[in-house]
Structure formats: C-alpha cells, structure tokens
Amino acid sequence: MKRSEINDIIAEGDAFIRSHGMILPPFAYWTPERIRGREASLIRARGLGWDITDYGDGRFEEMGLFLFTTRNGALADLRQGRGMLYAEKVMISRENQLSPMHRHDLKAEDIINRGGGDLVIELFAPTADGGIDETARVAVPCDGVMREVDAGGRIRLTPGESVTLMPGIWHAFWAEGKDCLVCEVSTVNDDRTDNVFREPIGRFAEVEEDSAPTRLLVSDYLDG
Ligand SMILES: [Fe+2]
C-alpha cells in the first residue's frame, strides 16, 4: 500500500469512529517522532496503535481491514493465568471488504458489531491437525445464545450483536449494507505469530513510502 493511501484511510477511519460516538486514546494522535520515543516504549512493546492492512495483496477495497489496538496484555501473564490477559481493538470492516479466512492458535476473540452495516462471518470448524473441516457443523456463542451453522455457513451480526470465536475456529468476515464499526475483545494478541491464513497471504501491508507518515502503523515499530 502507498503511505499516502494509509494516511487517508487513517483520517477517514478516525472520522468514522467519531461519527459513532467513540474516541480513540491520546496516543492515537501522537506524531511518529513521539511514538518512536522513550515515553512510548510500552505502546510499541504491546503493539498498540494503528494497523491498516491489505494482507500484502494490494487490493485494500476488496480485501483489507482497518484496526486500532487500544490495549493488549502480556503473554507472560497469559501463561501465568493471572494479570493482563486481555486485549481490545477497534476495527472498521468496509462494505464487501473481505477479512480473509483465518484462525488463531492462542487468541479467543469476541467480534462485536458496534454500528453501521451488518457484519457477516463465515465459519469452519478445525480438523484435528488445525486444517479446515469441510463437513462438520460449527457452533459459536452469540451474546449468550449458541448458534450453529453448516461448514462454511454464515452468521449475520446486526448492530449490537457479537460472536465469540475460540482458538481454532476458522473465520472470515465482511460488512454488508454499509461500512461497519467493529470492536474486538480478546485474550492477549500477537499478530506477528498468531494468525494462520487459509490462503498464502501476509498479515501486514507492504508499504511504499510515497509520502511521510502522519501516524505510524504497529507494523512500523513492532520489531524495533
Ligand atoms: Fe480473527
């Protein structure tokens, strides 16, 4: 993706989030220099912040996702079973913009439709070796009520509805009708290691630096 395109998507996304009455934390608006500074060491270490991705495929409108990680705990806490075991993201899934089929080994996540269009989620159960089970039905909790679909079946979350996806459950999603404001509440998140995609794609965008970044992406500082 071009950096100029990422800058535009961040500005549009921020306006969309505000239009739904939600405001991001202060560090969302820090300059790249400030995010690289000592004061932001925990922000960088936990992978907090902007995350605009086309999954390395170069077609953001068709396949991509806007994410902002607002909080993220520590894997060490998760291993200990106490402490900051949780994470939260704000996301925008645009109308008919695919977040491709994937699963997580470690992360359990609630995907919540906070407003806008419907969010449609396609589901498969995992096989014993973690592959896609093309035949088994899938049952997922949705706001305290189990819903069950055929392999590859879809659930539709209208504004206010959510689904809980346990580790291993394969899922892909997109918005229908309008762009959708989505929140994710999960266990500790590590996007460097905990996304297994069905297709051979990447998790982060490859960035072409055609202009200066207005905001850094998590992928700009996750490993440094
Ligand atoms: Fe996921």
Write down all domains in the chain, each with its CATH number in brackets: 3-221 (2.60.120.10)
Give the residue from 77, 26, 17, 75 showing the smallest Cα distance to 49: 26
CA 199 to chain centre: 17
Q: What is the reported pLDDT for 223?
A: 66
CA 186 / ligand 1 centre spacing (Å) = 10
Q: What is the reported pLDDT for 200?
A: 87
**pTM reported for the whole predicted model:** 0.96
CA 132 / ligand 1 centre spacing (Å) = 15
Give the residue from 113, 91, 99, 119 showing the smallest Cα distance to 172: 99
CA 85 / ligand 1 centre spacing (Å) = 17
CB 22 within 8 A of CB 88: no
CA 40 / ligand 1 centre spacing (Å) = 26
CA 209 / ligand 1 centre spacing (Å) = 28
CA 138 / ligand 1 centre spacing (Å) = 16
CB 45 within 8 A of CB 190: no
Successive 10-residue mean pLDDT values, the chain, 224 residues: 98 98 98 97 96 95 98 95 98 98 97 98 97 98 98 98 98 98 97 91 93 97 73
Q: Which long-range contacts (CB under 8 A, 24 or more apart) does 31-37 make?
A: 32/212, 32/213, 32/214, 32/215, 32/216, 32/220, 35/215, 35/216, 35/221, 36/216, 36/221
CA 224 / ligand 1 centre spacing (Å) = 24
Give the residue from 97, 113, 109, 217 showing the smallest Cα distance to 162: 113
CB 105 within 8 A of CB 167: yes
